[in-house]
């Protein structure tokens, strides 16, 4: 299954737009101890700089990931005693469409296409992975900018993200919604800081920072607060 399906170039291309694979294996520790080639590992760095053991034959998966998958619902779909076992699962209900022991890449692709017909009828066209990847890259840009504390640039990057998800399904729009929520939290926190500056008479510094992101708050809950602060810094003419 590993070499004939998951490493099959035709299947890999198909899976990129049509499936999300979930795998569960047993006796992983034993295989690692016996130095089984399929359970080979190497030490790599996880996000945050932590050292972890990755599986050579399963790109991107750590030993801990694989063990967690084996403790998930995934193994429960195998209602036979045979392995390998393949199940096509409804991602919305987690109910099984079909399942069998073994199987070729062609058989799996045919079963997925058949399942997709009913899913598309019920939920609309599926989201392609390449589309999701593009949106995730835009999300990463916003978050990277936000981490520097530059709210003005972060909101500008968010505007680009929001434009790209505007015509996408709700599942994609939800990514931008979560980013916006985090930006609003950061903006509220920044407004508190700027209110402190104004209270201490440091209006020039507060005004400069406020100008950088106040316009982006239009139509959001902090808009009135930002306007009140701007009026306090530079009272409107009567």
The two tokens of residue 52 are 């972890």
Domain boundary residue, one of 106, 123, 140: 123
Residues 133 and 89 in one domain: no
Residues 10 and 111 in one domain: yes
Residues paired with residue 98 on neighbouring β-strands, in sequence order: 88
Residues 96 and 52 in one domain: yes
Residues 44 and 97 in one domain: yes
Angle between the 151-165 and 129-147 helix axes, to the nearest 10 degrees? 170
How do residues 51-95 score in pLDDT, each as one tens digit?
999 999 888 889 999 999 999 999 999 999 888 899 999 999 999
Does any domain span residue 238? no
Residues paired with residue 88 on neighbouring β-strands, in sequence order: 98
pLDDT at 238: 60
pLDDT at 1: 64
Does any domain span residue 229? yes
Residues 108 and 211 in one domain: no
pLDDT at 60: 85
One digit per residue, the tens of pLDDT, for the chain of length 238 reads 667 787 888 988 898 888 888 989 889 999 999 998 888 999 988 777 789 999 998 888 899 999 999 999 999 999 998 888 999 999 999 999 999 998 789 999 999 999 999 999 998 888 888 889 999 999 999 999 999 999 999 999 999 999 999 999 888 999 999 999 999 999 999 999 999 999 999 999 999 999 999 999 999 999 999 999 999 998 877 6
Does any domain span residue 178? yes
Residues 11 and 117 in one domain: yes
Q: Print burial letters for 32-54: b (CB count within 10 Å at least 16), e (below 16).
A: eeeeeeebebeeeeeeeeeeeeb
Q: Tally the domains of the chain.
A: 2
Residues 118 and 160 in one domain: no
Residues 98 and 182 in one domain: no
The CA distance from 197 to 207, in Å, is: 10
Domain range for residue 23? Answer: 2-123
DSSP H helical segments within 71-169, as ranges?
Answer: 105-123, 129-147, 151-165
């Amino acid at each position: 299954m590993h070499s004939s399906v998951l490493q099959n170039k035709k299947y890999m291309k198909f899976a990129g737009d049509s499936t999300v694979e979930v795998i569960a294996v047993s006796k992983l520790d034993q295989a690692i101890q016996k130095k089984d080639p399929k359970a080979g590992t190497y030490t790599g760095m996880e996000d945050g700089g932590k050292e972890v053991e990755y599986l050579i034959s399963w790109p991107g998966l750590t030993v801990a990931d694989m063990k967690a998958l084996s403790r998930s619902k995934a193994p429960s779909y195998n209602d036979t005693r045979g392995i390998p076992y393949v199940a096509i699962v409804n991602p919305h209900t987690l109910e099984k469409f079909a399942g069998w022991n073994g199987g070729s890449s062609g058989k799996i692709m045919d079963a997925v296409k058949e399942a997709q017909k009913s899913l598309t009828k019920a939920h609309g066209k599926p989201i392609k992975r390449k589309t999701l990847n593009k949106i995730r890259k835009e999300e990463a840009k916003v978050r990277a900018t936000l981490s520097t504390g530059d709210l003005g640039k972060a909101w500008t990057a968010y505007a680009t993200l929001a434009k790209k998800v505007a015509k996408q399904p709700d599942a994609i729009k939800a990514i931008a919604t979560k980013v916006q929520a985090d930006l609003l939290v950061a903006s509220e926190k920044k407004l508190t800081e700027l209110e402190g500056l104004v209270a201490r008479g440091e209006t020039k510094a507060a005004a400069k920072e406020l100008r950088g992101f106040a316009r982006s708050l239009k139509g959001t809950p902090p808009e009135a607060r930002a306007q009140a602060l701007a009026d306090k810094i530079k009272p409107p003419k009567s």
